[in-house]
Amino acid sequence: MLASPDAPEIVDVGYGQGKSFRLLAEAFRSRRIVALQSAFNNPAPYSPRPPMLPISTIGLMASGCAIVLLMPGPTNTLLAAAGLRQGLRRSAHLCAAELAGYLVSITLWGLCFTHASQSLGWLPKVLRVTSSLYLAWLALRLWFTANSIETSASGVVSTRTLFSATVLNPKAILFAGSIFPSVAFASVITWLQAMAIFAVLLIPIGLTWIAIGAAPRNGRAPFIRPAFFQRCASVVVGAFSVSLMWALAH
């Protein structure tokens, strides 16, 4: 280690208030301290920028979400069945239930994958089994109520039913585990950004599925029988239930 010279001269360059002069003098026993003041006498305090999703990440996430949301599945099938039974206008509010269900499910799955998967390794399997059983029950209900679709006064697809089906929708696993970036679950700001993008995509796609289901009701597709359409919806939901069980078994 090099020894400090006796009584050195020290040059202090900065934009502070001279509070370090005493410490420098005590540490080096200097003969003289020359202070050079920066031109920026009052620099703005540093404040870190809030975390933001990169543009490239937003593009990939938006395209992935749009593709998966457009795919047939339990929630989209129920939206179409609601449009068939109740019409577009009376079923439009179900998009809010779908959004709420996905917000809950994607958030829980995201936190599970990023935080709890190591300490609670059994939790994802339990959630998948629960999803499969609920979808199987929902498929049976759709099948056995198909004959009363034109005469029943109450719709089989209620807000609670759609919300529950969306919370247990296997698509939420895909969203949280593959499409949403992991940083989306790291802070509230990035979570809000990701969910805002998701909501902008979900609402028009959900309305589109309701309109598809409402087409036979409005006479635009007279060759489609409502009871047959609902039984097809039941088969689709049941297929998702079986696929979940198959994935767990293998």
Total domains in the fold of the chain: 2
14 and 111 fall within a common domain: no
Does 31 share its domain with 128? no
160 and 82, same structural domain? yes
Give alpha helix (H) positions in the chain. Answer: 21-28, 55-70, 74-86, 88-91, 94-111, 123-144, 159-167, 171-174, 188-217, 226-249
Do 90 and 129 have their domain in common?
yes
Do 82 and 15 share a structural domain? no
Q: What is the pLDDT along the chain (250 residues), one digit of tens a residue?
A: 445 566 667 666 665 555 666 666 666 666 666 666 554 455 444 445 657 788 888 888 898 888 878 877 788 888 988 888 888 888 999 999 999 999 999 998 888 877 765 666 676 677 677 777 877 887 887 788 766 554 443 456 789 989 998 998 888 887 887 789 888 888 889 999 999 999 999 999 999 989 888 887 666 555 556 667 667 777 877 887 787 788 777 6
Centroid of chain to Cα 28: 58
Within this chain, do residues 24 and 146 fall inside the same structural domain, yes or no? Answer: no
Is the domain of 67 the same as that of 153?
yes
The owner of tokens 């360059």 is 13
Same domain, 146 and 204: yes
Provide the 3-class DSSP secondary structure of residue 122. coil
Residue 18 phi/psi, 5° resolution? Answer: 80, 15
Residue 222 is part of which domain span? 55-249
Do 131 and 172 reside in the same domain of the chain? yes
Specify if 3 maps to a domain: no
CB half-sphere exposure, 150, CA atoms < 13 A:
9
Task: List residues bridging with 14 in a β-sheet.
Answer: 37
Cα dist from 201 to 18, 61, 99, 139, 250, whole Å = 56, 11, 10, 26, 33
> Residue 2: inside a domain, yes or no?
no
Q: What secondary structure does DSSP assign to 195-230, as a single string?
A: HHHHHHHHHHHHHHHHHHHHHHHTTSSTTS-HHHHH
d(CA 231, CA 67): 25
